[in-house]
């Protein structure tokens, strides 16, 4: 029982670190690639900017969750 709890905690911490690194990388990627366009939208087209921001947030969540799951499956498969 203790071993299972330790394994679960370890998997959670690994996922947390991987996900945090991916979120930071995604932030800087979007900032670098879309920063100017998003700023122009924010200044000139508020409603389109709001919709774009929501779409980016949802896309980030879906993509990073799928990527994190894939990476953890690769790591878990190698450890066994």
Segment 35-75, tens digit of pLDDT: 999 999 999 999 999 999 999 999 988 988 888 788 778 87
pLDDT band at 80 (very low <50, low <70, confident <90, very high): very low
Sign of CA pseudo-dihedral 18, 22, 59, 51: positive
Would you say 39 and 48 are in contact if contact means Cβ atoms under 8 Å apart? Answer: no
C-alpha Rg value of the chain to the nearest Å? 17
Written as six digits, the tokens of 37 are 């366009």
Predicted pLDDT of residue 10: 83
pTM of the model as a whole: 0.69
In angstroms, the CA 15 to CA 72 distance is: 7
């Amino acid at each position: 029982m203790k071993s299972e709890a330790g394994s679960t905690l370890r998997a959670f911490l690994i996922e947390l670190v991987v996900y945090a690194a991916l979120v930071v990388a995604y932030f800087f990627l979007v900032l670098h690639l879309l920063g100017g366009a998003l700023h122009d939208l924010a200044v000139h087209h508020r409603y389109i900017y709001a919709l774009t921001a929501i779409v980016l947030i949802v896309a980030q969540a879906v993509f990073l969750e799928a990527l994190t799951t894939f990476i953890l499956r690769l790591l878990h498969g190698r450890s066994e």
